[in-house]
Structure 1
Amino acid sequence: MTSADIENTETWLPLDGLEPGFSANRAPHSRDLDGRKITVRLEDGTAIRHEFGPDTVDWAIGEENGSDEYEAFEVDSGLYFVQFLHRHDPRQAVSLVLDLTGGHALAVLGVIGEPERRPTVVSQRFDVGTIEGCTVTGAAPAPTAELLGRRMLWQYSPTHRYEHVYLTEHWYTFHCLSGPEQGLADTDACTYYRIRPGIFVFAWREKVVPCAAVTIADHRNFGPGGARSHGALFGLHEDGKQIVHFTFGAYGRLLSTTVYPDTVGD
């Protein structure tokens, strides 16, 4: 890709063009939730009921209900990351963090707006809750600044390698080191939540490509390939009409940490 192509965002790879091969380091789908009925009660009192099968989840919120295919990933002991796309409205995707040990939950609803929507086509809503029937212990999921200043290398496949620089509570920068987007870089809006010590949800919303992502990453091991993340990308096909939704995983390592001095000079 030439420098002119890189600077012309109209030539950037669409989301469906990124998908082939991007999921090579995805973890296997966990069936630990099969047969479980889990009700998440959000802070506003809303109850979301889930009944998990091997590959589908039946859910209900008040009078609204549905059945969707899902993928679940075991992040840590008793901690699961669940992804599903609503059949009744495929412009909505759910990312669900279930901490069956601590009794906490975090639900992220991604919604695709019109292709002309700004600042980002895909919006995200974050709701914290508890799991009924579980003894609630420890801190609830909450926004965090713990990742700020870190520069991470994430490898999604043998060829897809990206660095992330976590700049502020609202912005991060990505840079593709190798793969079909090699050389591309941008700064996008993002959100961070602390789930457990050393385990974080990191979500971003891209302004050039109409897509957003939700990931959960274990940062407790910073050796080569020691960090582990699971995630899903959600957005529009190149034609601006079809929905693209796929899961992925990555291995990561810490490259550096920036600590800003209080003053410059003396």
Structure 2
Amino acid sequence: MHEIVDFRTPDTWPNLSEFEAGMDQNSPDATSALAGRTIALHYENGRVAEYQLGERELSWTVRSGEPPRPGWGPYSAPYVATEFAPELFYVLSRDDRAGAPKFVISVLDLAAGIATTIFGEVTSTEGRGSLEVHFEHAGIGSPSERRHERTGVMDGKRTLWRYSDTHLYEHIYVNAGTFGWHAVTGPEQGAAEIVPFRAYQIREDIILMWFREGYWTLTASGLMDLSDMRLAISGWGWDFRGRKPRGALTLLGARGVLLGEVTYPQV
């Protein structure tokens, strides 16, 4: 017989720390391969910013042009990085010094000489809080006419991701801007959402995915390899229940299977 699983309203969902416990079973290895390097990013809007990476902390400094948001000065923060594929790094950082956290998340493709950065800032911690996010593209070392383009390659796909023996989630990619998830097993079982989504083509089978949670003041971003169905992902934003910054320094991973793909008829 099939187990009856009822829909869970968000007010019954577990706290973030509760459902994430034990979820790191398939997390990718962190790397210090970028330590000691300085990487100049030439953004399409003319800004030049510089990453200086140590063993555990980085600085992100605007050398010319305007900052990504008003009030963003020199940014220094702890970081975590993983080498998702040869010469392809996913770098996550969070700066809490000003109270409301700022996030700089970058995909650095050193082989192709291009990067995509997601800038996030918690602009209010009142009530549920608010989170601003935007994307920028850059050349590494010099300006580039190439960029990671948005893609609809995930449209219609359904995937199943196992983060641990108990954390199993299905992803439903409705279209290039809409995404659904639900918890098949684990502490969130029965929870589900349809939320805003973006995907960028990083390499032939590697996708940068991003989505914004509807209930939590939280967004998630990660790299997905469709050739061997693996995922490296982090949620980041504001934990309004716990009244504290959340994520970006915890990198989770999952192994997946493609359940199928829907092709809609022409109408």
Shorter-chain TM range is 0.7 to 0.9
Among 80, 101, 120, the alignment partner of 2:111 is 101
Q: Secondary structure at the match of 1:45?
A: coil
Instruction: State the distance in 1 between where 2:41 and 2:167 align.
Output: 35
Q: State the match for 1:143 in structure 2.
A: 150
The TM-score normalised by the length of structure 2 is: 0.87
Which segment drifts farther, 62-71 or 158-167? 62-71
Matched position secondary structure for 2:11: helix
1: distance between equivalents of 2:63 and 2:243?
30
Does the Cα contact within 8 Å between 2:10 and 2:191 map onto a contact in 1?
Answer: no
1:16 Cα shift?
Answer: 2.7
Native 8 Å contact 1:144 1:192 kept in 2: yes
Whole-angstrom CA distance in 1 between matches of 2:56 and 2:210: 24
Partner of 2:220 in structure 1? 213
Tell me: CA distance 1:22–1:141, structure 2 relative to 1, closer, same or farther (3 Å).
Answer: same
Percent identity, please: 28
Q: Does residue 88 of structure 2 align to residue 114 of structure 1?
A: no
2 CA distance for matches of 1:191 and 1:51? Answer: 28
Q: Is the 8 A contact 1:122 1:205 kept in 2?
A: no
Helix, strand or coil for the counterpart of 1:122?
strand
Give the match's secondary structure for 1:17. Answer: helix
Q: What secondary structure does 2:40 align onto? A: strand
Question: The residue matched to 1:143 in structure 2 has which SS?
Answer: coil
Distance 1:198 1:172 in 2: 19
TM-score normalised by L of structure 1: 0.87
> Which segments of 5 or more consecutive residues in structure 2 lack a partner in the other structure?
65-72
Distance change >3 Å, CA 127–CA 24, structure 1 → 2: same
Determine the C-alpha separation between the residues in 2 that align with 1:72 and 1:156.
Answer: 19
- 1:190-227 residue CA offsets vs partner (Å, 9 max, x unmatched): 11111111111111101112211111111123xxxxx1
Say if 1:239 and 1:186 are closer, same or farther in 2 by CA, change over 3 A: closer
Ranges in structure 1 where 5+ consecutive residues have no aligned partner: 222-226
CA offset digits 1:14-54 (Å, max 9, x no partner): 32322211222111111111111101111001111011112
Aligned CA RMSD, in angstroms, stands at 2.3
Aligned positions of 1:63-74 closer than 5 A: 64-74=73-83
Deviation of the 1:72 alpha carbon:
0.6
Q: Which residue, 228, 231, 251 being the options, matches 1:229?
A: 231
**For residues 237 and 161 of structure 1, what CA distance do their matches in structure 2 show?**
22
Shift of 1:86: 1.3
AA matched with 1:172: F
